[in-house]
Amino acid sequence: MKVIIIASFFPYPAHFGGAFDVLERIKGIKSLGHDIDLICTCKESPLKEDIEYMKQFVNEIIIVPRKNKISNLLLKKPLQVVSRKSLKAIPLKGIYDFAILESESVGMILENGSFKANHIIVRVHNNESNYFYQLAKSSKKYIDKVYYYFEAFKFKSYSEAVFKRADKLWFISNKEINANPILKNKSIHLPTAINDGFVEQELSNKNVLFIGALFMPNNLEAIIWYLQNVHILLGNEKNYKLIVAGSTGDFEPKRYLDIFKNYSNVEVRLNQEDLADCYSESTIFINPMLHGAGVKLKSINAIRNGLLLISSDVGAEGTGLIENEMYLKANSPQDFLNAILKAFDMKIEEKQTMIKKAQEFLNTNNYLSILKKELKK
């Protein structure tokens, strides 16, 4: 089959959950023997070596510039969509068997006269309207709040219009399928791709890990909340350390280093391409998110990489994981403190049992078998 994937970003390196989902699914589609072309919208051109890496899996890569104007805020479509309007003009040849739109943000491709596909699929990473609403709630700057609220409002109608034109909708979250009963006949739950198997860690230390795209306000809000409400209470806990890893996006790393330098027992690792060391040096993964939508892939990746997950309701949303069997749930500062101290006191065998139950659960949601059925004429 000939497949074209239209993404709102370049998926490598996979510095955030959405990129991980796109990259690993591309690998899965390739492993099934399909030919793939890739269109990406980018503010800046990807590095040459990153493009070369992606050429292992795709035949043609088309980079489309993404441009913003202040005046675009007044348009009916979301700015996330309008900034990718160049998708309307790129020349495409031939007919694809399947076109996969990685979210409604790349919906402008549907207005391209040369775009031809027998089956149009939208990967639903989030309820975009709710996602931007949650970003508005977590943002501290008034101007950012206004922007996110406007995007939330605009995506409500725009997402519906794109979904109507799609033949299939691949929801990453089973919960969000159930929230869209009108579209249920064209919707399936396609879990995030797990290609590399599951890892077993030593779990012999008191290192706690947080990984997240720090340029996103809900991730930054989460780790600052943890630092201010939980981390400070663990100051006297012998051998305890917090590792914070994540990408800074378009912002200078100093912006984040200045935030974390005020806390002791914190090790900051920014913009790392390979996070394997972060996982192998840790025992617990925390996801204290207060606002968000869809599945938090950081929680799934933590379990895949063999760490004991302690998460808020928001951080575990849409995963299907069972609390106290597969992870420890914590929402309040006291809950988080109690869960971390409980994890410290657990025997290694007890932690391994909980992690393996979670890994076995994730392994039953085999995305590749679902993908194989979906990519048939």
Q: Span 245-263, mean pLDDT?
A: 91
Percent of the chain at pLDDT exceeding 90: 73
Residue 297 sits at the vertex; the CA angle it makes with 26 and 243, to the nearest 5 degrees, is 120
Q: What was the pLDDT predicted at 52?
A: 97
* Residue 256: predicted pLDDT: 92
Tell me the residue type at 120.
Answer: I
Sign, Cα dihedral of 330, 340, 351, 293: positive
CA atoms 13, 102, 154, 149: torsion sign: negative
Q: Would you tell me the crossing angle of helices 217-229 and 333-345 to the nearest 10 degrees?
A: 70
Q: How much is the pLDDT for 377?
A: 64
| Mean confidence (pLDDT) of the chain | 92
pLDDT-derived band at 319 (thresholds 50, 70, 90) equals: confident
Percent of the chain whose pLDDT exceeds 70: 98
Length of the chain: 377
Q: Give the DSSP H/E element, type plus range, for residue 35.
A: strand 35-42
Higher pLDDT residue, 70 or 310? 310
Residue range 357-371: mean pLDDT, rounded: 88
- Closest by CA to 300, choosing from 332, 282, 327, 337, is 327
- pLDDT tens digits for 165-202? 999 999 988 777 776 666 778 999 898 888 888 999 99
- In terms of average pLDDT, the best of 11-25, 169-183, 221-235 is 221-235
Confidence of residue 230 (pLDDT cuts 50, 70, 90): very high
* pTM, 2 dp: 0.86
What is the arithmetic mean of pLDDT over 265-276?
A: 91
Q: Which of 9-23, 45-59, 177-191, 249-263 has the lowest mean pLDDT?
A: 177-191
pLDDT for residue 181 = 66
Question: Rounded to whole angstroms, how far apart are CA atoms 308 and 328?
Answer: 8
CB 136 within 8 A of CB 148: yes
pLDDT of residue 34: 97
End-to-end CA distance of the chain: 9
Q: Looking at residue 175, what is its pLDDT?
A: 76
| pLDDT > 90? residue 141 | no
Residue 297's pLDDT is 86
User: Long-range contacts for 93-97 (Cβ within 8 Å, ≥24 apart)?
Assistant: 94/2, 95/2, 96/2, 96/3, 96/4, 96/37, 97/1, 97/2, 97/3, 97/375, 97/377
Quick one: pLDDT at residue 345? 96
Model confidence pLDDT, tens digit, residues 39-98: 999 988 999 999 999 999 999 999 999 988 878 777 899 999 999 999 999 999 999 999
Domains of the chain from N-terminus onward:
2-190 (3.40.50.2000), 206-363 (3.40.50.2000)
